[in-house]
Structure 1
Amino acid sequence: MIKAYIRAVGMYVPENVVKNEELPRELNTSDEWIRQRTGVFERRYASPGDRTSDLAKRAVDNMLERGEVLADEIDCIIFATLSPDFFFPGAGVFLQEKLGWADRHIPCYDIRQQCSGFVYGLQMAQAFVQTGIYKNVLLAGAEIHSNALDFSERGRAVTVLFGDGAGVLVVSPSKDSKSEILSVEIHADGAGALNGIHMKLHDIGQRPVIYYDPSDFNANADLYPDMPASRNLFANAVRRMTEVSLSLLARLNLSVSDIDWVVPHQANIRINKSVVEHLGISDDKVLYNVHKYGNTTAATIPLLLAEYSENNTIKRGDLLLTPAFGSGFTWGAALIRY
């Protein structure tokens, strides 16, 4: 069977830096409160008028500038996001057109696994390449959260966490075993769909599908993301990311000592520190950028890959573990020989 590897990476974060102390007073929070509970010091917010596909396009431009892959080699797009440009069509076709690839008619897939979107998309890309369906699959994870956050005290738990950004990569056939996506494992538990972060704005069970009185504080709550205050969410994230990581390692007869870097989804620093503690991995093997960018959902892992490969922390041949947990509930992990 053809082997697949991560051939190229790229990233983009908006220039607008929003520090904790610069968040609106209406949130009724503080820099100390946010840092202690989330590990977030600051985040990036997109410029007015930007859409999610714009951020992804800039991340692709960054990747192409590195010269590791050519634009005309890419024959498929997978776009992972919870914040598409519009309710439909998906963001993939907008990205294709903005890149100037529309006349090539390459297929575009849109997936909605939120914080687990990268891992789900990576499994798809790996399968496409290994079976020979496509040769060079562009996987994009991008989000604009800032335009849909509740900046009142009601939205504090969600708003302090999230930022905007994009990370992309290309999965291609591997020429040798030095670089290879070894395995990806993913899961879901629909019983947690409304227990984790969610947004009911587009409720197809309503007629009309969107109708809220903006002056009614209770009714307009469904306009914004909601995250029930529950220890169950934290415990689920820690348990599931630990379980899937150990399952992957056992499947490949590897141990935690074989891992060079843990490249986890950047949801909350306390979750990640608890996961690596349960795995028995030293914290100096764990990569973070949540303090700079907040939670960028589907973009967090590819942002880490791009940032830490650019500064030569992650090197070719390193063994990477990429656990993620998201709303749905969805979760998974990949073992990658980078």
Structure 2
Amino acid sequence: MKTPDLYIAGLGVYVPPVMDARKAVELGLYDAEDHEHHGWTGTAVAGDMTAPDMAVQAARQARERAGTHPHDLALHIHACLYRQGPGAWSAQHYILRHLTDRDIPAYRIEQGCNGLIGSIELAACYLQAVPERKAALVTGADNVGAPGFNRWASLDNGVLGDGASAVVLTKEPGFARVLSVVSGSTAEVEEHFRDEEFPPVTVPGGGAVDENRSAAERVQDEAVSEAVGRQAELRTELALRAMAEADLDVSEITRVAHIFTGRKSHLRSILDPVGLSIDQGLLEFGRKVGHMTVNDQVVGLAHLVETRAVSAGDHVLIMAHGGGVSVTCAVIRVEYIPRWADGGDRTG
């Protein structure tokens, strides 16, 4: 959908210390051949810091950068992929409690790694529904360091990183304007991302998930390959639609914020069908921090702004997908470089 008068006023990120991939190989956590093949150089590891606490840090930074008063917030949405704390506990309200004393709604979204970007469309609809609503906060966070879970061997093509990110959306002008955002899903293939039939009912928030077994099975499963291809088709379709609704041609896209990957071939499979090159993406940056679940795109966008890799007037395409079935794409235009960017004052 077109998003008139919707802006990004602030971005916040929390990226924990990075563990070198070579160290992980030495410790026996990361297979040496996988390290050589996939291209990852490190991943962010939060240790004992919880995902909600990382989200609070990112949200505070986003709000400070936005200059938004806590009472201006009308909505909070928190996205995640992994367990946030005690079973049946409301992590989103913990985050909200540390940001404002207003009794605004706070929701948790679980759409795989598309949770945060998908939430931007939901927040946009919420703000546009009532004229008096001024701003919304979207956060995302995960710490995958559960006992028995090896972040270096959890994916067939990468490693998982911890971290958090946050976006303050406003109706008042901000440093970037959201021109369009579109979402969709490939619900018909959800069955291919289940490792088993529905298990017996268990207590919410159980033990660590064995991703290693499922990843190996998925690689060998032709049906899953077809499902991944179906999601890729939808991602391309939505990216082209987002650009069309923003009244832009692909030649007008400067950079892309995408899922982090270590392999050039994987990034090409995402960008080539849209008509973009891997040089417009964030390959080298993403290789350093790992796949940060719901946070890749916002962490990547913040990196582009903070390092002045984009300028006033540049357009950034955001492409997100998650869980094999959920896809969102958006287009933003940089209106000016904010004060918090590396190297100087606000320009433009």
Q: For the superposition of Structure 1 and Structure 2, which TM-score range results when normalised by the shorter chain?
A: 0.7 to 0.9
2:128 to 116, 130, 143: 130
How far residue 164 of structure 1 moved from its aligned partner, in angstroms, is 0.2
Q: Which moved more, 1:2-11 or 1:226-235?
A: 226-235
Q: 2:343 is matched with which residue?
A: none
How far residue 210 of structure 1 moved from its aligned partner, in angstroms, is 7.2
Q: 1:82 is matched with which residue?
A: 81
Q: Which moved more, 1:245-254 or 1:120-129?
A: 245-254
**CA distance 1:42–1:121, shift in 2 (3 Å):** same
How far residue 150 of structure 1 moved from its aligned partner, in angstroms, is 3.0
Q: Which moved more, 1:54-63 or 1:64-73?
A: 64-73
Structure 1 gap ranges (5+): 213-219
Separation in 1 of the partners of 2:142 and 2:151? 21
Q: Secondary structure at the match of 1:169?
A: strand
Q: 1:217 is matched with which residue?
A: none
Q: 1:173 is matched with which residue?
A: 171
How far residue 240 of structure 1 moved from its aligned partner, in angstroms, is 2.8
- Contact 1:119-1:186 at 8 Å conserved across structures: no
Q: Which moved more, 1:62-71 or 1:114-123?
A: 62-71
How far residue 21 of structure 1 moved from its aligned partner, in angstroms, is 2.4
Q: Residue 335 of structure 1 aligns to which amino acid in structure 2?
A: V
**CA distance 1:236–1:40, shift in 2 (3 Å):** farther
How far residue 328 of structure 1 moved from its aligned partner, in angstroms, is 4.3
Structure 2 gap ranges (5+): 335-348
* Pairing 1:247–2:241 present: yes
Separation in 2 of the partners of 1:35 and 1:235? 25
1:6 to 5, 8, 12: 8
2:200 to 186, 202, 206: 206
How far residue 110 of structure 1 moved from its aligned partner, in angstroms, is 0.8
- Contact 2:15-2:164 at 8 Å conserved across structures: yes
Matches within 5 A, 1:1-338: 3-15=5-17, 17-23=18-24, 27=29, 29-30=31-32, 33-37=34-38, 39-48=39-48, 50-66=49-65, 68-83=67-82, 84-99=84-99, 101=100, 103-132=101-130, 134-147=133-146, 150-151=149-150, 155-157=153-155, 160-175=158-173, 179-196=176-193, 205-209=199-203, 222-224=209-211, 226-227=214-215, 228-229=218-219, 230=221, 231-232=225-226, 234-267=228-261, 269=263, 270-288=265-283, 289-338=285-334
Q: Which moved more, 1:128-137 or 1:108-117?
A: 128-137
- Contact 1:167-1:306 at 8 Å conserved across structures: no
Alignment: residue pair count: 320
Identity %: 23
**TM-score normalised according to structure 1 size:** 0.82
Separation in 2 of the partners of 1:208 and 1:284? 46
- Contact 2:246-2:331 at 8 Å conserved across structures: no
**TM-score normalised according to structure 2 size:** 0.80
- Contact 2:77-2:108 at 8 Å conserved across structures: yes
**CA distance 1:92–1:208, shift in 2 (3 Å):** closer
- Contact 1:11-1:307 at 8 Å conserved across structures: no
Q: Residue 11 of structure 1 aligns to which amino acid in structure 2?
A: V
**CA distance 1:179–1:63, shift in 2 (3 Å):** closer
Q: Residue 21 of structure 1 aligns to which amino acid in structure 2?
A: R
**CA distance 1:150–1:317, shift in 2 (3 Å):** same
